[in-house]
Structures are given as structure tokens and as C-alpha cells.
């Protein structure tokens, strides 16, 4: 089994083991997308999109049990004695990045009321938000979004579909978040032809779904705070800086 596929099994095993110990964790990032998009491995290979590590999010109340699990399985804490993030490393070099309570990067994704919507991953709507909230989005995130939209229809629910209503509602409260996500959804469409692995029919499916999501976001009623912030636009910084750890 290729290492990147083995990492998928490793991630699922971590979540299930923690669950058995009374702790909660959910898989995010590339592995979550692989789990939600079975049968697309050849597309990822054609796009040259490997998996290099495991990313999780967990309630802070589960941190002590998660830490004990990693210690018992010979992981070392290599980043984050305090704060909202921990990185554990296995002897073979595999890193497990654990975000606590929320995913706080260029924008903040909260999981209040959403922990039990899906398992072992975060919901598809949050996966879309995670991948599209990056101001300086890179190729791997665009590739992940392409396959995610290829594999899932939109709906107003979370059962193996992208909850466009939840995404639109989230972005209707935060103009900065809205601006970054819509900018990146447009990039997904504009850059799609740069990547192999997709035929014309698949590109049409992705285009339809991304376009429909954009329309849903635009038509959703915006809050007063959103409208006030929109007046300043990009003249005022609308995103947070991300400190990366290698």
C-alpha cells in the first residue's frame, strides 16, 4: 500500500481509538477529502496530489486523552506546548497536526454544533470552507476542491452532500471570509483546465456545482455587520496571517 493511502488508514484508526477512549477528534484536510471521495485515487495521481501528513481538529476537552494516546504510541510533541495547536511526530517521520476547538487560519471555522454531523471527518461544508479560506491558495488545495466538487452534489443538508445553505449562512456574517472564499471558488473554475485527470464531462459537473454554490452565497441575506465591513473592501486587511510550521 502506498504511504499516502496508509496515512488514510492511520488517521481513521486514531479517530476511532480516541472515540473508544471517550475523546473526540475529526479528520480535516486532504485525508478527509480522500475518505469522502472514494474511487478518485487515479485522478489524484494524475494531478500529482500526494498525502504527506495527518490533520485533525478536536475539542480542547479531548486534548489530555489525545496527548496520552500519542505518547503511548511513541509520538513526540514537536510543536505547541500551549495554544490552539499541537503537532505530534511518529518515529518514522509522520506528523499529526491537531487543531483545538476551531480551525483558525486566514479565517476561522468554528465547529460548535457540528462535531457530530459527520465522522470520522468534519462535514463536507466545512471541508469546502477549510480549503477555500486560504488567501494565498496553492495548487494542492485547488486540486482537492476540484475532486470534492466532482464527487458531491449541493443540498441544504449534510448527508454525503455539500451543505450550500450552511456555507452561505456562515459567509453572510463575515465579509472577509466571504471575499476569500468566493475569490477562490472563481480560481477553481479559472484554473481547472491546468490540471489533468478530468474529462470534459467532469469539468462541466464541477463548473455547474461551483457556479450554483456561488449563486447560493450571493443570494443569501447578509448581516448588517457584513454590509458595513463590505464598504471598506480590501482597503482594510480582511484576513489573518498564518504561521506555518515545518
Q: What are the chain's domains?
A: 3-235 (3.30.460.40)
Average pLDDT, the chain: 95
Backbone angles phi, psi at 152, to 5 degrees: -140, 135
The dihedral sign for the CA sequence 169, 175, 179, 181: negative
- pLDDT tens-place string over residues 151-180: 999 999 999 999 999 999 999 999 999 999
Burial 32-71 (b: 16+ CB within 10 A, else e): bbbebbeebbebbeebebebebbbbbbbeebbebbbebbe
**Would you give the DSSP letter of residue 194?**
G
Mean pLDDT of 60-65: 97
Number of C-beta neighbours around residue 81 at 10 A: 6
CA distance 35 to 12: 9
Rg (CA), the chain: 18
Q: Report the percentage of the chain scoring pLDDT > 70.
A: 97
Q: Is 88 exposed, middle or buried (0-12, 13-18, 19+ CB in 10 A)?
A: buried
- pLDDT tens-place string over residues 134-143: 999 999 999 9
pLDDT over 70 at 244, yes or no:
no
pLDDT over 90 at 3, yes or no:
no
Angle between helices 139-151 and 29-36 (to 10 degrees): 20
CA distance 90 to 57: 18
pLDDT at residue number 32: 97
- pLDDT tens-place string over residues 202-234: 999 999 999 999 999 999 999 999 999 999 999
How confident is residue 6, by pLDDT bands cut at 50, 70 and 90? confident
CA nearest to 54, candidates 84, 23, 82, 33: 33
Task: Enter the pTM of the model.
Answer: 0.94
pLDDT at residue number 1: 42
CA distance 83 to 238: 23
How confident is residue 5, by pLDDT bands cut at 50, 70 and 90? confident
pLDDT at residue number 246: 46
CA distance 242 to 246: 13
CA distance 75 to 93: 9
Amino acid at each position: 500500500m502506498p504511504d499516502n493511502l496508509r496515512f488514510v488508514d492511520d488517521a481513521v484508526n486514531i479517530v476511532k481509538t480516541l472515540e473508544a477512549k471517550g475523546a473526540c477528534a475529526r479528520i480535516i484536510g486532504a485525508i478527509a477529502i480522500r475518505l469522502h471521495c472514494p474511487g478518485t485515487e487515479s485522478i489524484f495521481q494524475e494531478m500529482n496530489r500526494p498525502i504527506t501528513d495527518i490533520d485533525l481538529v478536536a475539542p480542547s476537552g479531548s486534548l489530555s486523552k489525545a496527548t496520552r494516546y500519542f505518547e503511548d504510541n511513541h509520538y513526540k510533541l514537536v510543536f505547541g506546548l500551549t495554544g490552539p495547536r499541537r503537532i505530534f511526530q511518529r518515529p518514522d517521520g509522520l506528523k499529526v497536526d491537531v487543531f483545538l476547538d476551531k480551525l483558525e487560519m486566514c479565517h476561522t471555522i468554528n465547529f460548535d454544533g457540528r462535531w457530530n454531523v459527520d465522522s470520522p471527518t468534519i462535514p463536507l461544508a466545512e471541508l469546502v470552507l477549510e480549503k477555500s479560506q486560504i488567501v494565498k491558495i496553492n495548487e494542492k488545495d485547488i486540486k482537492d476542491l476540484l475532486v470534492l466538487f466532482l464527487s458531491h452534489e449541493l443540498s441544504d443538508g449534510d448527508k454525503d452532500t455539500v451543505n450550500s445553505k450552511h456555507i452561505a449562512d456562515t459567509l453572510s456574517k463575515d465579509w472577509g471570509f466571504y471575499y476569500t472564499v468566493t475569490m477562490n471558488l472563481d480560481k477553481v473554475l479559472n484554473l481547472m483546465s491546468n490540471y489533468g485527470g478530468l474529462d470534459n464531462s467532469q469539468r462541466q459537473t464541477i463548473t455547474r456545482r461551483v457556479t450554483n454554490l456561488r449563486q447560493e452565497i450571493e443570494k443569501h441575506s447578509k448581516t448588517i455587520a457584513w454590509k458595513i465591513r463590505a464598504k471598506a473592501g480590501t482597503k482594510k486587511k480582511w484576513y489573518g496571517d498564518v504561521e506555518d510550521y515545518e
